[in-house]
Amino acid sequence: MKVDKYNKSLFWQKVFSNINKSLGSSLIIIGIVLLFFNLIIAIILIGIGIFLLIKGGQQQLDYKRKSGYIIHNG
C-alpha cells in the first residue's frame, strides 16, 4: 500500500499538535505548583503553557480541516 506525502504530513501535523497541547498543559501545571515558590518563573511558565495550548489547538483544527474531518456546507 502506497502512502503519499500528504498523508504523512497530516499524520505528523496531528502528532505535533498533540505534543504541543500536552506540553502546554504540563507547563501550566508546573507553573501553578511553582506559584508558591517563585512568582516570576511561575508566570513565565504559565504564559508559555497557554501559548502552546493555543498553538496546538490551532494545529489540530487545521489538521481536521485539511483531512476532511470538518466539512463546510456552503
Domain boundary assignment for the chain: 14-64
Dihedral over Cα of 48, 50, 51, 57: its sign? positive
User: Does 10 have pLDDT greater than 60?
Assistant: yes
- Would you state the cell numbers that stand for residue 8, as one nine-digit string? 504523512
- Cα–Cα dist 70/8, whole Å: 19
User: Does 72 have pLDDT greater than 70?
Assistant: no
0.85 exceeded by pTM: no
pLDDT category, 41, cuts 50, 70, 90? very high
pLDDT at 2: 53
